[in-house]
Amino acid sequence: MSWKDYLYFQKGDRVAVILLLILIVISGGVYIVTRPGKPAIKEEVASDSEKEFELFLSNLQDIEEDKDVGPAPIPILPRYSYQKKLKAGETVELNSGDTTALKMIPQIGSGYANRIVKYREALGGYIDISQIKEVWGMDDYLYSDILPYITLEPKNKHLKVNTASFQELNGHPYISYKQAQLIVDIRERKGKISSINRLSLLDEFTDKDIKKLTPYLSFD
């Protein structure tokens, strides 16, 4: 028996098969069109679209309202007052002038003014105008430029050699760490130091050191 024999139907059978196929096709089409959940998908898509459109209208309204408000105000920056400087013929006294007064000297800003005051306090007062050349950062050119604007009334505070602590001795610009240790050692071993001449006998104190220290030391 060949395969054609399996596909051979009598006329009545063929009509029945054809009708069956037609019913199957029609049933499938109806199911596809009316299957559950499809309208919900359409409704969901439509709902999302409506939401996006409403959001667009809301944003558009916000933009229009912003236009009505006008541009943002320009922030007002703080104004810094210009530092007044001394004119020709005007001066500042070196031992009494505070940082505000010293900043009035041309080419002297906050940094130099603070260092001049701190060095003055460490010394115990300036006794010679040229001592400000010892302030960190002060060179001969700057010193020459500011010299016409400063005056000096010599003032010096005495450091008591026989009672000052090691920290106080070492804190003076003209006394080194080693020199401060030596002074304390001599006091402990031999008692009170009578005068600057006692220090001048020590190798650690040069003639230059003694000259600079003499106005600032007291041996009471």
CATH of domain 92-151: 1.10.150.320
Which residue, chain included where needed, has tokens 């603070």? 114
Alpha carbon separation from 188 to 161, 172, 182, 192 (Å, rounded): 12, 20, 10, 8
Per-residue confidence in pLDDT tens, the chain, 220 aa: 544 455 555 556 666 667 777 777 777 666 665 665 544 444 444 455 566 666 656 655 654 554 444 555 666 655 656 678 999 999 999 999 999 999 999 999 999 999 999 999 999 999 999 999 999 999 999 999 999 999 999 999 999 999 999 999 999 999 999 999 999 999 999 999 999 999 999 999 999 999 999 999 999 8
Distant-in-sequence, close-in-space partners of 75: CB < 8 Å, separation ≥ 6? none
- CA geometry: angle 27, 29, 31, nearest 5 deg: 70
The pTM score is: 0.62
CB atoms within 10 A of CB 64: 9
pLDDT score of 40: 44
